[in-house]
Structure 1
């Protein structure tokens, strides 16, 4: 026992001395191991600090109150709720008997009376929220309005005051710091809503600990939302909202108990209770769990742990691949010392202990440095992290056991990286170690065979998961196994690269020969680059393919650079001002006016329910109507009227094809306008243009024409709303009058951007329809800048319009940034791994470099050789990684194809075939990313290595000769 202890103690001393003597190599390995530990420990501290306790969550949601009472939205009908109610939401409760039963029977309208659920003898405080645009220094900013007496003791903790004070009288408001920053405002400034003339003075600034990025203002109850909603109602506009909740304080005792919660539930009120959250009832006491499973996050936790374990495992593998050669080089540099140990009676276990102790010393140092820096970094970046997360930390929390476990990973990684070099060094003959000879090393034939088998099995599993299984985990597992097989094959593949040396000049030939001869050093670095690049290529291929699918599915509302603006204002009086605003703020090519048909009074707005106002639609003959949408009562399920085979057949019927094609101005599919609209939309078909010029309507859907194609389409007018609703509820056609107009059918390849029927003004007048201005559509010579857009929106606001113009800017995916980030990440890892391999090569091949100098090689040869060594490793890793990364991405894409097809088929079988995506996800290889990796990264790595390498080496000592 004593001998074992002293031998390891001596080994650790020797390893510590060697690490101190070789500071550069030690610092390199320590950095490789410490960086992941730094990141993991920083993430652990961040997550634990950001994770709020139940008590903290209740403080931020309830302030000093005992409970928050919320209308459940069931019209006062009894509900059953989840006791683990965090933030109230529809998925946390349901009516007694379920939502289906609730909707199938008449229920009381309106909101539940929260006051009836307040226990006697308790104090209440109303908390009302709504939304409205507020005028700021820059224009209009959509803002949440909260009417709450913030100075009340029950509200303590809900809002944290930073500057000034909370409102104390009418006309005063406080605002969040984010609102003040976004609006360019400060204390003492005045703001007012768009639809209210009253100004409000900002007297305080506060923050919401859970929502730091929320734009919110606070006012006293009744001073803001009430007058604002009245003003909106007077203008015929929708109210801005105003959902009122009750904060309840019992003044001591047990608080709001579970029995009190169930009593409030019986009145249709949902309750967030502090007492229930801190001490929840058993599942048997919760009626909600009779129809819903109790909370169980085991599956999600297991999935998260599996993902975390996979990421950590890959990170450790990569570190070992990079750190292992460093220990191997260190062992070779110390082979004379290890030989002396053997010559003086030390056996193989002592030599293994010395090399393993090197890994232990570096691992312990990396654990201490990485953990300490992770904690310090999190503490220093706490304000930045809180801003990124959008909420304040509960407390800066350190969990010693978790941090100790993370630190052990560094020690474990150091030991694992030193295992192979330790075994190799212990097998080195003593005489060869003392004389500096490396001996004859035989190639390992087992590892390549195992790698080949792993590649075959992994590819088969991934292929099965892609084409025959619904589980993407099989694709991921097979791809990972295949990638590990490629890593095992790396020494053989490096040898194959060596066959190219005969066609290369001197410096690259020497670099390639050195890489092939020292595969124990080269292969792990290539494998590390391979792993990083393979992951990047896989994600980049999947991302590029998904982006291609989304681009193909993207529906342009209008042609690129074309805009539209409409108003529902009665009579269209604002259209002239809209036209002037657009002309003043945009570079226009063509501008066209759009009108709409009105049935009844000219003051009728589109889709008005007023009895004086009628509705209209393009008439579709019965023979052209989709059977899925006919013959059933309103809201009936097609699956109840058609078999699966019938629904599949109807899915291929042209009458049932529903495609959303755009958003050109119009009401009920009818647009009234002249040929200028065709110019704006880019419609140049001669038949369509001539028909509009001749005063005939143009239909863009063949369903509008009867089977005889008489050249006329109908517009059906419905004037009796009540009879129409009764007919539709009974599954009958709504009664109405059909007026036919002469029309031309546009070719199927003409895209009308949502216009079903274009009617010239003269044709509408001749048919007896009354029209009023509705808006305009225009084409621009260039997309407006942000400043022009803000100016145009401000001009519309001055007119009094509540809507802003829309200008089509085309598809804009975020994958360009993603691919760039992935390329940069892979490039950094590749350059780092190649640089490490180059540094080790220089340390390992120092005698060869000194020989080159001794025989008269110019100084630039040393730089050139270093650069080509680094570029060779990078190129081999990038090429192999690019090939290995394609397999998992293709497998995942094929698996996604099958999932999309199955989802589409389920929708068809259920009878819901309108608006479903039928675009097959393509397989797109990101050639730009691959080109950047294969060409730019190795060249950059080579140039960087050449620049940082000294031209002349140090004079060799006799011991190194």
Structure 2
């Protein structure tokens, strides 16, 4: 006697053999279902391998930062002892940032004092400058490092040529060569250098592939360039030093790190990374306990992004199941006679279910193997491209067999779930109905709609609960998926409601609609498949469109629309500005150009806030009683109780400008500037024409006058700023015209006419031009302008205010196109199901003499009706997850705002705008184009004639 286990085993082996043969016999349908299931597997397996490979081990990451050294000692930019975390990602001055004040007398202290005595050290020096290239000027990092020293191994990877051997030779990153248009063997000249350098090789930094960098031996590049700049009266280079240190023994221990911290050095230690100290031994955590739990890079929006990803992935998996389900139903219906023969030969319902489920198992297993293989192959083949996009080289290809196995099992599970409903449906067919092809009559399921209603209500409640309370971000996705499953369960009932519209339709669509309603068993899965495809797209489209509306509301223009600004970037730009102005007027349709200058003291080659000798500046002095108390105190807002800080935030003296604009506190220009900035106040225009300054910053005006202080000693000024003392210098008091309150000045505080600056005895230097355009600048005009500026070598920047530019329009359009293609594909499956199920009706039409086009027309309307019902229901179902995601984002932003108000950094009346906006244009396209496209496609691919069926014998 055969045991039950053996019987079960043999029945499943037979079912798998039948399913394999049936899948091979219907290659087209099998390939379609396999592609549906394998496509997500390809993406997920490729993403898994990419992320795992791009995730460096602590040792790999550290080697790319410190090479073969025991530690790297860097400058944190503070001139005082510091406390740091073991990973050197967080640090603070001793006593905290609130009480920290820079001491100019200690700025000359060298970082080398933090290197332990007797240790082997290699200095790494860097400075940012502009370098002449084939196209103009390029921001580049210059670096000096002994590249032949063993401690530098791992910091960079040589690519071509050879390493520098002496003065006059540099090597360049591959990114610099690509961006500059130069090559190994060409000459390159940093701006201000007196001699060119020869590029003898190329290299890359494994974790910064996009870095533009030139590297030379110590003393060969930075020191000569610094001397050349200072010889012309320009400020020298701002050089940042660090040291690669080798101490031997147990490495750079935590005690040595704390000793270096006491001398102002920030240390990344290999020994500390491998064996970090206990939290109790970290002084930073004792001073600032919050730093113990801080992690770099976290922000309040990451939870929302996780919710978005979870929702999209959940809806995508549901969509695959519902898309593949009708295809298995088509196969079950086409194999109806074969399944009937199984029943006639003693097979029961469980054998029929096993055969159909085996089809899902076979195709799911093939999809798993194929998808994982393609995903891994794509990642391996596209590795260089992926590394370039990420901007970092992989540590190694990190295969995780268990994760890939899990992804494959998910594909198998998807195939089984997709075949589940068709298997149950096929098993309920009687043997006689299967052999004769008769459908029989089945009562409507009254339990399923009730379950669907409960699922919709429960899913909506769960999703909304997840938006109101800080729980797992997958709660919103889970609730949305449950609600969508509820809509799927309600589909047969909803299809019946659609049938009531047939009385108002012409003959062909009325027949198609009645046929769909009469055969809800095949219509409902097809509608559900279209529903799932549309719901995911509507959810993401609504979320992106809502974010776009919010961004448009929050956008702050820097200048009036259609207005631009040409500004100089460097100390010597005053010599280049006049030529750049003429270049601007030649290449753009300039309507009005207002040339502006800055007030200058001492050497005109200096930057506005340069601290080199001879580099003075002019400060607009705000009267003491009109200054914000929060920023006049020694330790800033920390010196005030929270309630007092909140009150002062609402004080007009502490109001922060909404628009930064050009950020010129004082500027020299004529009345053309007001025309460009759309300032229409007649009094302000008349004042400038008459030679009187115009003040837009009311806090700087007292008794109708402003005070300009000429600072001639930058070092003394910096010391005074560090201790909140008055700036030293000579005052110039000018009578001004005060613009009406509320006048938009776009970041300009005071405008001096040239005659007023001359009368006050203050020199000026060209700084740029404001301009308005007659028509919008085209891309060709901008490219021509940038090219001419590059060829002149002028270091200027041109910006044009174009207003808010949506960055999600292309994404929403791509989603709409994707939804259309997927929905048409789902509707195509529905058409195949309809044709397989209604083939007898179509043959009857041919038998009674119907015109050949009737088959095309009927098939087209059948497909269009299914697509339309799916789009309507999917559009409604897709709104819920979008609403949930937006409410989640509103909760996060409200929480951040409340914490900011509590800390005194925001005012309680600050509004929060997180809208939920429906993308009506996308919905309209889905409702009209998708059903129409599905109907036309179905009509085109349907044969207009077919063989007559032979009458069945009784």
Shorter-chain TM range is 0.7 to 0.9
**Equivalent residue in structure 2 for 1:681, among 677, 699, 716:** 677
Query: Compared with structure 1, are the counterparts of its residues 436 and 747 closer, same or farther at alpha carbon in structure 2 (3 Å cutoff)?
Result: same
Contact conserved, 1:571 with 1:604, CA < 8 A, in 2? no
Q: Is the 8 A contact 1:724 1:734 kept in 2?
A: no
Contact 1:541 1:925 in 2 (8 A): yes
Q: 1:327 to 1:701 in 2, by over 3 A?
A: same
Q: Structure 1 residues 512 and 908, CA, compared in 2 at 3 Å: closer, same or farther? A: same
Q: Which residue of 2 aligns with 1:855?
A: 848
Task: Report SS of the residue matched to 1:167.
Answer: coil
> Normalized against structure 1, the TM-score is what?
0.86
| 1:793 positional shift | 5.5
On the 8 A contact 1:552/1:919 being kept in 2, the answer is no
After superposing the two structures, state which structure 1 stretch, 570-579 or 863-872, moved more. 570-579
Aligned to 2:914: 921
Residue pair 1:254, 1:275 contacting (<8 A) in 2 also: yes
1:931–1:235 CA distance, 2 compared to 1 (3 A)? farther
8 Å Cα contact 1:130/1:146 also seen in 2: yes
2:636 alignment counterpart: 636
Q: Which residue of 2 is the match for residue 647 of structure 1?
A: 646
**Shift in CA distance, 914/599, structure 1 to aligned 2, threshold 3 Å:** farther
User: CA offsets per residue over residues 800-848 of structure 1, 9 Å max, x none?
Assistant: 7544243333332311122122222222322222222222222232222
Q: Which secondary structure does the structure 1 equivalent of 2:636 belong to?
A: coil
CA 261–957 in structure 1, closer or farther in 2 if over 3 Å, else same: farther
Three-state SS of the structure 2 residue aligned to 1:811 is: coil
CA deviations on 1:71-97 (whole Å, 9 max, x unpaired) are 344546364441xx3xx54x2x44566
Partner of 2:751: 758
TM-score (norm 2): 0.87
Q: Which residue of 1 aligns with 2:149?
A: 152
Which residue, out of 843, 866, 869, partners 1:876? 869
Whether contact under 8 Å (1:628, 1:638) holds in the other structure is no
Cα 1:871–1:687 change in 2 (3 A) is: farther
Question: For the structure 1 residues 315 and 148, does the alpha-carbon distance in structure 2 shift closer, same or farther, using more than 3 Å as the test?
Answer: same
Change (3 A) 1:241 1:760: closer
1:170 deviation in Å? 1.3
Kindly state the Cα deviation for residue 199 of structure 1 after the two structures are TM-superposed.
0.9
SS of the residue 2:201 aligns to:
strand
Matches of 2:452 and 2:871 in 1, distance apart?
A: 19
TM-superposed deviation, 1:262: 5.2
Cα distance, 1:576 vs structure 2: 3.9
- Describe the shift of the 1:110–1:398 C-alpha distance in structure 2 as closer, same or farther (beyond 3 A): same
1:588 aligns with 2:590: yes
Offset of 1:471 from its aligned partner? 8.9
Q: Give the deviation of 1:37 after TM superposition.
A: 1.9
Question: Is the contact between residue 79 and residue 103 of structure 2 (CA under 8 Å) also seen in structure 1?
Answer: no
- SS of the aligned residue for 2:537 comes to helix
Aligned to 2:815: 822
Q: Could you tell me how far apart the structure 1 residues matched to 2:271 and 2:642 are? A: 52
Cα root mean square deviation, aligned: 4.1
Higher mean Cα deviation, 110-119 or 201-210?
110-119
Residue 519 of structure 1 and its aligned partner are, at CA, apart by 2.6
> Do the aligned residues in 1 keep the contact of 2:114 with 2:265 (CA within 8 Å)?
no
CA drift of 1:18 comes to: 2.2
Taking the aligned partners of 1:465 and 1:918, their CA distance within structure 2 comes to 23
CA deviation after TM superposition for structure 1 residue 267, in Å? 4.5
Shift in Å, 1:874: 2.4
CA 1:586–1:455 in structure 2 vs 1: closer, same or farther (change >3 Å)? same
Say whether residues 1:9 and 2:13 are aligned partners. yes
Q: Is 1:659–2:678 an aligned residue pair?
A: no
Note if 1:44 corresponds to 2:48: yes
> Whole-Å Cα distance in 2 between the matches of residues 615 and 189 of structure 1?
43
Partner of 2:371: 370
Equivalences for residues 484-563 of structure 1 within 5 A:
484-563=485-564
Q: Please identify, of 191-200 and 396-405, the stretch whose mean Cα deviation from structure 2 is larger.
A: 396-405
Contact in 1 for aligned 2:676/2:772 (Cα 8 Å): yes
Listed one character per residue, the Cα deviations across residues 518-548 of structure 1 (whole Å, up to 9, x for unaligned) are: 3333323323332332332233223223223
Distance 2:39 2:953 in 1: 33
**Corresponding pairs, count:** 940
**What residue number does 1:196 align with?**
193
Structure 1 SS opposite 2:243: strand
Which among 706, 730, 733 is matched to residue 739 of structure 1? Answer: 733
Q: Deviations over 1:847-902 (max 9, x none)?
A: 22222233333333333333333332322222222222333434444554455455
Any idea what the Cα deviations from partners look like across 1:160-182, whole Å, max 9, x if unmatched? 22221111121112222222122
- Please say if residues 553 and 919 of structure 1, whose CA atoms lie closer than 8 Å, have aligned partners that are also in contact: no
Q: What secondary structure sits across from 2:596 in the alignment?
A: strand
Q: CA deviation at 1:24?
A: 2.4
Counterparts in 2 of 1:284 and 1:554: CA distance versus 1, 3 Å: closer
Contact 1:79 1:269 in 2 (8 A): no
Deviates more, 1:460-469 or 1:931-940: 460-469
**Which of 694, 706, 714 is the matching residue for 1:714?**
706
Greater Cα shift, 585-594 or 70-79: 70-79
SS of match in other structure, 2:292 = coil
Task: Identify the residue that residue 29 of structure 1 maps to in structure 2.
Answer: 33
| Alpha-carbon offset, residue 757 of structure 1 | 3.4
Is the alpha carbon distance of 1:22 and 1:897 closer, same or farther for their aligned partners in structure 2, counting shifts above 3 Å? Answer: closer
Corresponding residue for residue 389 of structure 1: 390
Summarize deviations over 1:438-478 as a string: whole Å, max 9, x none: 22122222222222233334444555666788997765555
1:77 matched residue in structure 2: 81
SS at match of 1:861: helix
Residue 138 in structure 1 maps to residue 135 in structure 2: yes
CA distance in 2, matches of 1:277, 1:960: 84
Contact 1:615–1:719 at 8 Å: present in 2 too? yes
Residue 951 of structure 1 pairs with residue 954 of structure 2: no
Q: Does the C-alpha gap of structure 1 residues 27 and 81 become closer, same or farther in structure 2, counting only changes over 3 Å?
A: same
The 1-side partners of 2:759 and 2:411 are apart by 85
Q: Which moves more between the two structures, 677-686 or 220-229?
A: 677-686
Equivalent residue of 1:804, what SS?
strand
- Residues in 1 aligned to 2:724 and 2:397: alpha-carbon distance in whole angstroms: 63
In structure 2, C-alpha distance between the alignment counterparts of 1:865 and 1:594, rounded to whole Å = 73
Matched, 1:931 2:944: no
Q: Cα 1:60–1:886, aligned 2, differ >3 Å: closer, same or farther?
A: same
CA distance in 2, matches of 1:602, 1:211: 37
Q: For residues 147 and 302 of structure 1, do their structure 2 counterparts lie closer, same or farther at Cα, with a shift above 3 Å needed?
A: same
Gaps of 5+ in 1: none
Cα separation, 2, equivalents of 1:491 and 1:684? 65
Distance in 2 between residues matched to 1:733 and 1:387, nearest whole Å = 49
> Per-residue deviation at 1:193?
1.0
Alignment of 1:410-429 (within 5 A): 410-429=411-430
Structure 2 distance, partners of 1:473, 1:410, is 21
1:488 and 1:58 map into 2 onto residues whose CA distance is: 54
Q: Distance in 2 between the 1:531 and 1:469 partners?
A: 28
Partners of 2:671 and 2:685 within 8 A in 1 = yes
Q: Does 1:941 align with 2:934?
A: yes
Which of 11, 18, 25 is the aligned partner of 2:22?
A: 18
Report the CA distance between 1:302 and its aligned residue.
11
- Residues 133-175 of structure 1 show CA distances to partners (whole Å, capped at 9, x for unaligned) of 2211122122222322333333333322222111112111222
Separation in structure 1 between the aligned mates of residue 749 and residue 309 of structure 2, nearest angstrom: 52
Alignment CA distance shift 1:626-1:123 (3 Å): closer
- Match of 1:756, SS state, is strand
CA distance, structure 2, for counterparts of residue 175 and residue 605 of structure 1: 29
Aligned to 1:437: 438
Whole-Å Cα distance in 2 between the matches of residues 394 and 808 of structure 1? 43
Contact 2:192 2:229 in 1 (8 A): yes
CA–CA distance in structure 1, aligned partners of residues 639 and 198 of structure 2: 59
- Which piece of structure 1 moves more, 750-759 or 737-746? 737-746
SS at match of 1:858: coil
In the alignment, which residue of structure 2 is the partner of 1:840?
833
Shift of 1:192: 0.9
Counterpart in the other structure of 1:178? 175
Alignment of 1:245 with 2:256, yes or no, is: no
